[in-house]
Structure 1
């Protein structure tokens, strides 16, 4: 597959997948997710790849889902099922990849961007990083495994607060919650991420593989079954007037007028 929305490369045992759709803050659409999944498959099958870095080009890690594309699709009579299923596949690929995956986050990590970072094994964040469970702002639920990953990362109470409010949290707050492993300046982010990745690339690959498998069995063994329910719930939300109003309000840069508000 030739890539138009990511940059992929491998050097010294470290593969780097860079989200590269800068015009819309690396928002996830069908093409971007498909390319990320393909690159993850390459990482898995290539014995030279020992560690994977996932980062974003431009001003953000990822602004979340491509709302303009979703709005167009809904108006054309399509639903969200295929896109949500792809996002679920991406999260599973990251969690089950037998090699460490490091999220290197700067700027906004909103919606699916937040949850993709959560799916990674480690997250290094620049001081300007913002993490936002933005789904509720357009009448949706967290996808890409969001509720599942969030409750296991920060606990039920804090997950409820973040998912139901859509509030922004800083890199420092994310660090305090255990979402982020290390914070650094934006100027240091690439160097810090590369240093960690190169160190791990020289580490015990079989140990990493088995550790990830055991963590998955211990904490994520029903993840795939959960994702089936997530897709159903998101498709249901995607058929509501609240979702249509949420998308329209977002594109018009105003507050949504939800039913019953």
Structure 2
């Protein structure tokens, strides 16, 4: 961790793949593993958690989450899935990964004490989509896409989908998005309730930054308190992640999951057998 002399300006790297900078109360957390489309590997997940932990207790007024390169986050680490299938990793280890890594980093962002904004200028899939909707607000570049296509790799939802998505779009729409794995463009995402704004390519940076600065210029104590009150309703995200991980244990062993991972890597449509 590296701090400058001015406490309002920080430069922190939780890992080599996650960067955190803070200037005048605005913190920017950047996922920086573009070769893997910012997938939520153990290293990236731990970097996110470390970065948010570092900000707690500071005078941070807004946290911006974004991805380097062409993707916001492609979600789960498919290479790790392949290794797990090939090495016949135990169910306990697989479930621990869901809770401790992807689930925990999504939860950490959701439970942060300050307002958060996901700045989505590329693809956000699966657990990566959950990271985006774990933020309080989402702003989309016109070319961004978001989807909860866990079915594509033969898995049930995890990393907080069952808690976060219905809160935004309602149960019926959430089920359709999960059942079909529909990939939503930015306009469609905002139309169904995922996100706040879509900005044209030429205006994305200017408009997104104007919104972020407006939030950061507000009464931070009041906004943090309002956030706690607005998030207090319904069941907890922690309970949802634990429930999902337990259910996912059975799905990890299915032939359909193995087929989904193979098809994903071979860039073909999966042929699920329902087993």
TM-score by length of 2: 0.89
Counterpart in 1 of 2:209? 194
Question: How many residue pairs end up in the alignment?
Answer: 259
State the match for 1:23 in structure 2.
Answer: 35
Q: Tell me: CA distance 1:65–1:260, structure 2 relative to 1, closer, same or farther (3 Å).
A: closer
Query: What is the RMSD of the two structures over their aligned residues, measured on CA atoms?
Result: 1.6
Q: What is aligned with 2:131? A: 116
Local SS of the residue matching 1:73: helix
For the Cα contact (< 8 Å) 1:81–1:231, is it kept in 2? yes
Q: Does 1:210 align with 2:242?
A: no
1:232-247 residue pairs with structure 2 within 5 A? 232-247=246-261
List aligned pairs for 1:68-217, cutoff 5 A.
Answer: 68-78=79-89, 79-85=93-99, 86-217=101-232
Which ranges in structure 1 are unaligned for 5 or more consecutive residues?
none
Whole-angstrom CA distance in 1 between matches of 2:153 and 2:254? 10
Q: Distance in 2 between matches of 1:20 and 1:164?
A: 31
> Does the Cα contact within 8 Å between 1:52 and 1:100 map onto a contact in 2?
yes
Q: Is the 8 A contact 1:106 1:186 kept in 2?
A: no
Structure 2 runs not aligned, ≥5 long:
2-12
Alpha-carbon contact 2:147-2:183 (below 8 Å) kept: yes
> Larger relative contact order (C-alpha < 8 A, sep ≥ 6)?
1
Structure 1 residue 15: deviation in Å? 0.4
Partner SS, residue 45 of structure 1: coil
> Which residue is equivalent to 2:19?
7
d(CA) in 2 for partners of 1:225, 1:197: 30
2: CA distance, partners of 1:4 / 1:70: 22
1:226 Cα deviation (Å)? 1.9
Structure 2 counterpart SS, 1:218: coil
Answer whether contact 1:12 1:198 (CA < 8 A) is retained. no
Aligned ranges 1:215-254 → 2 under 5 Å? 215-219=230-234, 221-254=235-268
Partner of 2:9: none
- Displacement of 1:46 in angstroms is 2.2
Cα distance in 1 for residues equivalent to 2:71 and 2:26? 22
